[in-house]
Amino acid sequence: MLTIRCATALDVSLILDFIRALALYERAAAEVVADEERLRETLFGESPQAKVLLALWEGSPVGFAVYFFSYSTWLARKGLYLEDLFVLPEARGKGAGKALLQRLARIAVEEGCGRLEWSVLDWNQPAIDFYLSLGAVPQSEWTRYRLSGAALQEVAGPGEG
């Protein structure tokens, strides 16, 4: 039987395991710098930055979803952004991914969100096919940009010391 539940601080080690498994699948394992302490603080500390849902098959964790609320100026409403969705390869096909997305959609509706959004790697055809099967529409007119590391520091410039 499949169940979905909200993660707690007791799940930090499991969440980190899922993050590492996702990064390995996405061919980016070396990029993970998260650790349990930082996850505990940013997910369950004084000012949580995101929330986590866990999918359990017969009581065993098989997947997770990390999400946070964004804001749309055009809609003048908040949105729900899905940062990560991952189901263990051996558990795929049992409905965990769909159940996680259904719960996220329910949260978005209950919270009055104008939309639920996420990104997917362009080579991840199984995920793309899954999202299309749910009625999701790709936003091909947008190009995502990122500043990080040294480039982010350079643009930020010196602090107001």
Those residues of the chain that have pLDDT short of 50 are: none
Tell me what pLDDT residue 39 has.
98
Tell me what pLDDT residue 161 has.
57
66 close to 11: Cβ distance less than 8 angstroms? no
Tell me what pLDDT residue 22 has.
97
103 close to 93: Cβ distance less than 8 angstroms? no
* Helix 36-44 vs helix 12-25: crossing angle, to nearest 10: 110
Tell me what pLDDT residue 112 has.
97
Active site residues: 131
